Structure 1
Amino acid sequence: MKRPHYLFSNGRLRRQHNTLSLERAPGDRMPDDDPTDEGLPSVEPDGRKHPFPVETVDSLYIFGEVDINTKLITFLGQQGVPTFFFDYYGYYTATLYPREAQLSGRLHIEQARHYLSPKRRLVLARAFVEAALFNIERVIKYYQPRLTGDAKLAVQATLTDLVRDREALPLTTDILTLMAVEGRIRDRYYRLWSYFLGSDVTIRFPFTKRERRPPSNELNALISFGNSLCYTTVLRQIYRTALDPTIAFLHEPGDRRFSLSLDLAEVFKPLLVDRMIFRLLKTGEINPKHFEKHLGGCYLTEVGRKIVVAHWDERLSQTVQHRTLNKKVSYERLIRFECYKLVRHLCDPVSEPYQGLHMWW
C-alpha cells in the first residue's frame, strides 16, 4: 500500500536502480537564512544508505536538508510521486509536481467556465464556506457540554452567530463577503480555544488571536504547521484526479500557488488540523520544549515537527463508517471523495450539485 514518506534526515536522495535511496549525512540542518550560506550542498553523506521501494511511496515530504539531481526528478516524475519541501522553520515552500497523469480537456474547460461565471463561482464558494462553518460548529458542539459558567455563555453566543451567518450564506452576493464571514467566525472560534483546552493547557500555551507570518506563539506555530500539512495533503489528492489545482473558486487563483487546495482545505481544517492540535496539547505530547524562538517568531523544533507529522499520518489513516457507501473509509480517502464530488459538479452542476463534507460523527 502506498503511503506518504516523511524525510527529516539530512543527506542525498537518489535513484538507485529502480528504487529510492537516502544517503544520510551527520549534523543538524542549518537555517536557510544563514548569512554564510553560499547555496552549495552543506552536508556530505557518510555512506549510510537507506533504500526504500518506490512502489510504497505515494508522496515525499522533505523536512531535512536534502540534495537531489535531475535523474531523481525524472524518476519521481515517471512514478507520479509529488514531493513537498519545507524550510528550516517548517514552512511549506515548494512542490515538485509531476506531469499530470489524469488529464481531461472537458473537465479543464468546465473548471475554467465555472470560475469565469460569477454566478457559478459563487455557488461553489458558498458551498466551501458553508461546509467549513458546519464543521467548525460540530467541533464547538463537541466541547460545549463540558463547559460551565462564562465559558458556556461565550460558546453559546458564538454558536448563535455562526448558525445565523451560515443560514444567511445564500444571501451573499460576492466572494469578498463570503471570505469576510468565514474569517469573522474563525476569529471568534479561535477565541474559544482557551475554554476547549482547559486552564492547565492555556497557562502553558496562551492564545488570544491568530497571527501567521511569523507565528507569534506556540499555538500559532502549531496552526500554521498543521494547515501546511492539510494543504499539501489536499494537493496530492487533487493530483490523483483530473482537476486543475490552480483554478479555484473561493480563493483567487494566483501565481505560484495551488489555490484549489486552499478551497478544499477549508472544509477539512476543523476535522483534521484543529482536532489534532487539541489532542496533542491536552495529552501533553506537545509541550513548550518543542518550540523555539527565532527572528521574532515561534516555530516547532525538529522533534516537535516529528511528533506532529506522526500524529497527522496516523490521523489520515483513521476510518469512519461512510453513510452512503456502507463501509469504512479513511480520512484521507474522504479528501479524495471530496475531489470526485467537485468533478461531478463541474461536469453536471444540475444533477450532481456539490455539497462540502459535513461531519456526521
Structure 2
Amino acid sequence: MKTDRTHFLLNSGKLYRKDNNIYFDKYAEDGTVLNTKIIPINSINEIYILGKVELDTYTMAFLSTNNILIHIFSHYGSFRGNFYPNSPNSVNKSGFVLLNQVRTFDDEIKRVAIAKEITKARMINSINNCTKRGVKFQSNTHLEALRNAKNIAQIMACEGAFAKEYFTKWNEIIKNQKSFKFTTRSKRPPIDKINAFISYINTRIYNVCLSEIYKTELDPRISFLHEPNYRSLSLHLDLAEIFKPILGDNLIFNMLNTGEITPKDFQIDAGRIKFTNEAVQKIEIKMIKSLTTQVKFENNFLTYRQIIRREANQIKKFICENYPYEGYVN
C-alpha cells in the first residue's frame, strides 16, 4: 500500500529543524524528553498538530520552503487554523483564474450550475451508501427538488432536507444503537459520540480538500455552494460535500460495525467529548488507507487524493473554459 505523506503530532513536544530535516521531541508530563523522532523532509506533505507543540519561526520557514502545510487543532480536537507556504516552491496563483473565479461567483447561472452538481453528487454518493447496505432510500423527491432549484438558497434547502432524511437512515446501518444512535446533528460542541465521530472525520476531509485545492490555481476563499461570508476559506467546504459520503460516512459505518471504534475510544475532557490518542491512530490508519488506495476512474487508476485534486481542476476548467462539469460519483 502506498503511504500518505501526512504526519500527526498527538503528544506534547517540540518540532524543530536540524540538519535539513525535521525532528520531534516527545515530552513527558514534567517536560523532559521521552524520545526523539526524525521525520525526513522529503516524506512530508502536511502535518496535523493535535497536541501541545512548540514550533519556532526558523522551522516554519524551512517547512514553507519545502511547501509543507500545517493544520492546527485545539486540545479538544477542534480545528483552529492552517499554515500555508508562500515560497518559490508553492503553486503560483493565477490572476486569470482568480478573475474567472470571482466572475463565476457573481454569475448566478454558472454559480448555480456548480452548486447543483456538487449537491447532486453529494446526494447520489450518500444514496449509494444506503443502497449497498440494503437500506431503502426514496431519492426521487430530493433529486427532483434539486433540479427545480433556481438559486443557492433553494439548493441549500434541498440539501438540508436530504441530509435530515439521510441521517435517519444511519440508524438502519449502524448496529450499535445503544451507544451510537443518531438523533440530531450537533457540531459546536458535538452532543454525543456519533456527532463527535462525524465532526472529527468531516474536519479531516475538509483539510484534505483544502490541501488539494492549495495544489491548484484556485483560490480557496471563493466558493460556490457555501457563502464565503466572513470566513477566510470556503471552497474546501464545497469540495468536501462530494467526498464526505465516500471517505467519511463509509469509514464511520465500517469502524462502528466492526467494533474497531467503541464507546471506550471516547473520553470526556472539560465536559466535551473527544477521541483518545489511541482511537485517533486507529482512525488515521483507516483514513490514510482510503486516501491512498487506487480506484478505477475512467481509464486510469487514481487515489482519492488525486480524484479530489482532479475535481478541483474540473471546476477550474468550467469557470475558465466553460468545460462541462459533473460532480464525482463513486
Structure 2 residue 166 is the aligned partner of structure 1 residue 189: yes
Aligned to 1:343: 316
CA distances 1:187-210 after superposition (whole Å, capped 9, x unpaired): 111111111122xx1123222121
- Count of residue pairs brought into register by the alignment: 325
Aligned to 1:48: 35
Structure 2 residue 326 is the aligned partner of structure 1 residue 355: yes
- Of 300, 305, 309, 1:332 maps to 305
Aligned to 2:211: 236
- Of 289, 294, 308, 2:283 maps to 308
Aligned to 1:23: 25
2:132 partner SS? helix
Rounded Cα–Cα distance in structure 2 between residues aligned with 1:176 and 1:312: 32
Q: Does the 8 Å CA contact 1:12/1:45 hold for their aligned counterparts? A: no
Aligned to 1:31: none
Q: Does the 8 Å CA contact 2:180/2:193 hold for their aligned counterparts? A: yes
Q: CA deviation at 1:297?
A: 3.5
Rounded Cα–Cα distance in structure 1 between residues aligned with 2:104 and 2:28: 51
1:285 partner SS? coil
Q: Does the 8 Å CA contact 1:124/1:354 hold for their aligned counterparts? A: yes
TM-score, normalization by structure 1: 0.86
Q: Does the 8 Å CA contact 2:28/2:34 hold for their aligned counterparts? A: no
Rounded Cα–Cα distance in structure 2 between residues aligned with 1:256 and 1:137: 30
Q: Does the 8 Å CA contact 2:4/2:288 hold for their aligned counterparts? A: no
Rounded Cα–Cα distance in structure 2 between residues aligned with 1:78 and 1:204: 46
Q: Does the 8 Å CA contact 1:214/1:296 hold for their aligned counterparts? A: no
2:227 partner SS? coil
Rounded Cα–Cα distance in structure 1 between residues aligned with 2:73 and 2:284: 12
Q: 1:298 to 1:9 in 2, by over 3 A?
A: closer
Q: CA deviation at 1:47?
A: 6.9
Rounded Cα–Cα distance in structure 1 between residues aligned with 2:51 and 2:273: 19
Rounded Cα–Cα distance in structure 2 between residues aligned with 1:86 and 1:257: 17
Aligned to 1:224: 199
Structure 2 residue 143 is the aligned partner of structure 1 residue 166: yes
Rounded Cα–Cα distance in structure 1 between residues aligned with 2:99 and 2:31: 48
- Of 2, 5, 11, 1:3 maps to 5
Q: Does the 8 Å CA contact 1:11/1:45 hold for their aligned counterparts? A: no
Q: 1:294 to 1:178 in 2, by over 3 A?
A: same
Rounded Cα–Cα distance in structure 2 between residues aligned with 1:282 and 1:257: 37
Structure 2 residue 50 is the aligned partner of structure 1 residue 63: yes
Q: CA deviation at 1:168?
A: 3.3
2:167 partner SS? helix
Rounded Cα–Cα distance in structure 2 between residues aligned with 1:62 and 1:297: 19
Rounded Cα–Cα distance in structure 1 between residues aligned with 2:67 and 2:61: 10
1:292 partner SS? strand
Q: Does the 8 Å CA contact 2:4/2:291 hold for their aligned counterparts? A: no
Aligned to 2:64: 77
Aligned to 1:130: 120
Q: Name the aligned partner's letter for residue 175 of structure 1.
A: I
Aligned to 2:83: 96
Q: CA RMSD in A?
A: 1.6
TM-score, normalization by structure 2: 0.94
CA distances 1:86-127 after superposition (whole Å, capped 9, x unpaired): 111211111011125232111111001101112221111111
Q: 1:229 to 1:2 in 2, by over 3 A?
A: closer
Q: Name the aligned partner's letter for residue 119 of structure 2.
A: V
Q: Name the aligned partner's letter for residue 313 of structure 2.
A: Y
Q: CA deviation at 1:295?
A: 4.5
Task: Report the more deviating stretch, 311-320 or 273-282.
Answer: 311-320
Q: Does the 8 Å CA contact 1:211/1:220 hold for their aligned counterparts? A: yes
Rounded Cα–Cα distance in structure 2 between residues aligned with 1:226 and 1:6: 14
Rounded Cα–Cα distance in structure 2 between residues aligned with 1:257 and 1:221: 24
- Structure 2 unaligned regions, length at least 5: none
Structure 2 residue 252 is the aligned partner of structure 1 residue 277: yes
Rounded Cα–Cα distance in structure 1 between residues aligned with 2:201 and 2:244: 8
Q: Does the 8 Å CA contact 1:86/1:94 hold for their aligned counterparts? A: yes
Q: Name the aligned partner's letter for residue 20 of structure 1.
A: I
2:77 partner SS? coil
Q: CA deviation at 1:2?
A: 6.4
Rounded Cα–Cα distance in structure 1 between residues aligned with 2:287 and 2:112: 32
- Structure 1 unaligned regions, length at least 5: 28-42, 145-154
Q: CA deviation at 1:45?
A: 4.9
1:20 partner SS? strand
- Of 75, 87, 110, 2:74 maps to 87
Q: Does the 8 Å CA contact 1:11/1:66 hold for their aligned counterparts? A: yes
Q: CA deviation at 1:298?
A: 2.2
